[in-house]
């Protein structure tokens, strides 16, 4: 009941930044969601509609002594998967690699252990069978060693035949995709990001591996209370233990709790700090992407315009049609609900509003998505101590209200569905 009371009695205008009057209700909801916990962290929300930035607001604390600023960066966990996938689609459009060519053409070592038929498309749609991290490395600290992790992935054996099933790849996704991009182009991931996304879109903060010059901009968790959830706490909570009723129900439905653990929790994760300088500067693209809300929203604004932004085409029409097609509609082996996987993205999760858009959310409840039919993009970042595979109620609620505000503009009524 406490969250409901916090929402009802919250301040309606406790934020800084710009709001188009047509989106005032969304800004009010943003304020009410964050108000009661402003001392525990901060958040930012950025929206583009029809190529115009219509919401760019933020609130709360970046640290115990610093307020959140417009350019504050946030660890966004799996939200970064959508950014990495977007980079891959740009490179496919540039002709530097192909969705359907075996990855081993670009990365010969990858062909080991029956992986000679896996393609970039299989990886992007979580159908490569390479979802297991727990049995690949002995300690989570190994994840900071980029070249080592590429070797680990090259040597790995898939858990199922390529294309025969789907299993969300919480951590291995990043080394698979970024590894292919580097091998195909001969350039580092940071160079590719700068050349094809950061510079052309004039992004104000988008990193897989934060440079020294940007570390001070990163909002880290404010650990004031014992119940603060960190990556370390998440691992502790999900160690081997007696299964809960929910886990038993999942198992009865055909999903395996072991698959979940193998995909999500590397050994030694309780001793690995994702928010330390070393953790932030490591290149773990599936899990530790660091972004400003405005950068995420601009990337998805380009996708909302079918790969075009400010008179520049980033993604070809053919590639956009391919990347936005749903590849897998059933529930996969890891996620608790059907995600409708595209090539690197999943469906938009709402409280009722229908959307044919796509994007990606992160474990902490951050998220970014686009809705090309509405010409809309959305990004929400924060540093609050939350954790959920499908985002908390704030992310779902802000997504819902964003769609309602746009439908009010386009159709003359908000509606709930």
DSSP 3-state of 130: coil
- Residue 290 belongs to some domain of the structure: yes
- Residue 366 belongs to some domain of the structure: yes
* pLDDT reported for residue 1: 65
- Residue 9 belongs to some domain of the structure: yes
CA-based end-to-end distance of the chain:
25
Beta bridge partners of 378: 47, 369
- Residue 36 belongs to some domain of the structure: yes
d(CA 373, CA 326): 16
Beta strands, E only, 179-275? 206-207, 218-219
- The residue segments making up the domain with residue 316 are 2-411
* pLDDT reported for residue 5: 81
Burial bucket for residue 204 (CB in 10 Å: 0-12, 13-18, 19+): middle
- Residue 227 belongs to some domain of the structure: yes
Sort residue 340 into left (φ over 0), alpha (ψ -120 to 50) or beta: left
Q: How many CA atoms lie within 13 A of 143 on its CB side?
A: 31
* pLDDT reported for residue 232: 53
Burial bucket for residue 125 (CB in 10 Å: 0-12, 13-18, 19+): buried
Beta strands, E only, 124-270? 206-207, 218-219
d(CA 151, CA 159): 18
Task: Tell me the whole-structure pTM to 2 decimals.
Answer: 0.93
* pLDDT reported for residue 392: 80
d(CA 192, CA 207): 11
54 and 47 Cβ atoms separated by less than 8 Å: yes
DSSP 3-state of 378: strand
Q: Enter the tokens of residue 42.
A: 């901060």
- Residue 417 belongs to some domain of the structure: no
* Angle subtended at Cα 153 by Cα 265 and Cα 151, rounded to the nearest 5 degrees: 120
Long-range CB contact pairs, 98-107, < 8 A, 24+: 99/124, 99/322, 99/343, 103/180, 106/180, 106/183, 106/184, 107/154, 107/179, 107/180, 107/183, 107/184
* pLDDT reported for residue 239: 52
Number of domains observed in the structure of the chain? 1
* pLDDT reported for residue 389: 77
Element (H, E) at 58: strand 52-60
Q: Enter the tokens of residue 114.
A: 């029956």
For the chain (417 residues), the mean pLDDT of every run of 10, in chain order, is: 81 96 98 93 98 97 96 97 98 98 98 98 98 98 98 98 97 98 98 98 98 98 63 50 55 80 95 95 98 98 98 98 97 94 98 97 96 98 87 92 98 96
Beta bridge partners of 368: 360, 379
* pLDDT reported for residue 251: 65
* pLDDT reported for residue 145: 98
- Residue 270 belongs to some domain of the structure: yes
Beta bridge partners of 48: 53, 377
Q: Express each pLDDT in 120-136 by its tens digit.
A: 999 999 999 999 999 99
Buried b (16+ CB within 10 A) or exposed e, 263-278: bbbbbebbebbbbeee
- Residue 416 belongs to some domain of the structure: no
State the CATH number of the domain containing residue 341: 3.40.710.10
Q: Express each pLDDT in 29-78 by its tens digit.
A: 999 999 999 999 999 999 999 999 999 999 999 999 999 999 999 999 99
């Amino acid at each position: 009941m406490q969250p409901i009371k916090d929402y009802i009695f919250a301040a309606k205008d406790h934020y800084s930044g710009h709001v188009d009057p047509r989106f005032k209700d969304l800004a009010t909801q943003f304020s009410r969601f964050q108000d009661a916990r402003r001392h525990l962290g901060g958040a930012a929300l950025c929206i583009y509609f029809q190529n115009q930035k219509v919401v760019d607001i933020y609130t709360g604390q970046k640290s115990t002594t610093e307020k959140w600023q417009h350019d504050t960066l946030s660890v966004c966990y799996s939200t970064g998967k959508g950014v990495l996938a977007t980079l891959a689609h740009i490179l496919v459009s540039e002709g530097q690699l192909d969705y359907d060519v075996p990855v081993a053409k670009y990365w010969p070592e990858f062909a080991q252990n029956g992986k000679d038929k896996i393609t970039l498309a299989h990886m992007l749609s979580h159908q490569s069978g390479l979802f297991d991290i727990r049995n690949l490395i002995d300690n989570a600290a190994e994840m900071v060693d980029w070249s080592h992790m590429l070797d680990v992935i090259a040597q790995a054996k898939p858990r199922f035949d390529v294309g025969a099933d789907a299993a969300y790849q919480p951590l291995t996704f990043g080394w698979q995709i970024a590894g292919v991009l580097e091998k195909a182009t001969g350039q580092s991931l940071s160079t590719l990001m700068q050349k094809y996304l950061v510079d052309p879109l004039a992004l104000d903060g988008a990193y897989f591996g934060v440079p020294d010059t940007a570390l001070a901009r990163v909002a880290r968790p404010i650990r004031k209370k014992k119940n603060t959830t960190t990556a370390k706490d998440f691992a502790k909570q999900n160690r081997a233990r007696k299964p809960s009723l929910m886990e038993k129900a999942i198992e009865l439905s055909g999903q395996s709790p072991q698959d979940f653990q193998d995909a999500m929790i590397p050994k030694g994760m309780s001793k690995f700090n994702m928010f330390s300088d070393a953790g932030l500067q490591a290149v773990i693209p599936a899990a530790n992407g660091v972004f400003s809300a405005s950068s995420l929203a601009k990337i998805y604004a380009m996708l909302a315009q079918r790969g075009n932004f400010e008179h520049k085409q980033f993604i070809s029409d053919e590639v956009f049609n391919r990347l936005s097609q749903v590849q897998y509609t059933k529930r996969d082996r890891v996620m608790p609900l059907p995600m409708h996987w595209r090539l690197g993205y999943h469906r938009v999760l709402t409280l009722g509003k229908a959307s044919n858009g796509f994007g990606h959310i992160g474990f902490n409840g951050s998220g970014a998505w686009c809705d090309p039919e509405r010409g809309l993009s959305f990004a929400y970042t924060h540093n609050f101590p939350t954790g959920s595979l499908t985002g908390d109620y704030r992310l779902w609620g802000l997504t819902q209200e964003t769609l309602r505000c746009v439908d009010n503009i386009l159709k003359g009524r908000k509606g709930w569905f």
